[in-house]
Amino acid sequence: MVSRSAKIGKAFGKSGVLAKASEGKSVGGVEPVADESALGTGEAGDLKFAQATKSAFLYDGTEWDRVQTGNNAAPFFNKTATEVALGENDSATVTVHAGDPEGFPITYSWDALKVDSANTIHYKEGGGTYPPGVTNIIHSSPSSGTFRFQSDSSNSGNDGSYTYRILASDGAISSTTQNNLSVAYGLANCYGFRIKQTSASYGHTVWHGIILDGSGLITLPASWATEATIGSASWSQGVRNEQTSVSSHFRKYFDAESQATFGYTLPSTWYTFSVSHSGNNAQFDLKWTTPRTIVGIMLSGDMTNGYDYFTGGYVQPYIGSNTNLDATQYTLVASSSGAHALGASTTAANKYYDFRG
């Protein structure tokens, strides 16, 4: 039979229910300390109360986590996440900043979401993996709001578009800011093209065009109408012409080539840029103000009036700025067999270029 004194000794022992009392700590509740700097160490499940900030902390076995109490408000961002568009072996830096209404220190982290027809994958800081095409997200310190994204080479084939978030935590509650993250292999840091017609079956310069980056059709956002400019043509020109059909002529070609070569399906409402000019074999500059990594360009002179105007030409990119014309001329090539299999015409008026190499 265990003696009464032995039972009391066990209770006050290291693992006993009154162990903390033997060490001068609170029993069955929360141990008060002066402030966060006095939290010290603990055992998983320990609770302490910082009197200076009137905040409770729970030890998770590794660190102290602040417990939400009272009317604790969420952190707020005064500098939010920006879009990240990466090319081959590229990098980009995002810096955010958040504050806490009660003045608690902020720690930052990232996460990202890949959603496709097959599955949904959640990536997060410390998990050891990154979205496809991203080789590293450098975050030097939890207290830093600066993140550096790095991408891999085009040989990996891991291009794609994702949603990423930056989380700001005050220890008890988190707030988030999010934006788009894309990896596209192609023509990086591009601000436009000089488009030169070199041949036509009918003596004018008339064509429609579309351009794809890692996120899809660059003419889709309404802001494109004010961001982009195109040279003046004698009859007409446009940077964002609405299209609602893919049934025939240049519309059918753009939809078929987009799917066959670039794996992209045009939406029900989409937009082209265009020129209609009386002179033959003219050139026009299409420019924009936000750098993009261009995957491909398509041009067609296959018009609904039965004439094939444009039948050949090349494009020269503006790289680094919309005033720096690169010397490289990319000759547009004939429509692909994949596009023909999807119903596109084999006419010489349909041309494209794939910048992914």
Strands 97-99 and 120-124: unpaired
Hey, what amino acid is at 144?
A: S
- Give per-residue pLDDT as tens, 278-299: 999 999 999 999 999 899 999 9
Distance CA 25, CA 313 (A): 83
User: Which residue matches tokens 């010290």?
Assistant: 40
Strand partners, 330: 315
Hey, what amino acid is at 242?
A: E
What pLDDT is stored for residue 11 in this prediction?
A: 44
- Give per-residue pLDDT as tens, 302-326: 998 988 899 999 999 999 999 999 9
What DSSP assignment string belongs to 75-125? PEEEE----EEE-TT-EEEEE-EEE-TT-PPPEEEEEEEEE-SS-EEEEET
Distance CA 294, CA 309 (A): 25
Q: Is the dihedral of CA 199, 260, 303, 355 positive or negative?
A: negative
pTM over 0.85: no
What mean pLDDT, rounded, does the chain reach? Answer: 88
Closest CA to 356 of 297, 314, 316, 312: 297
- Give per-residue pLDDT as tens, 204-221: 999 999 999 988 999 999
Q: Backbone phi, then psi, for 142, in 5-degree steps?
A: -60, -25
**306: CB partners within 8 A, 6+ apart:** none
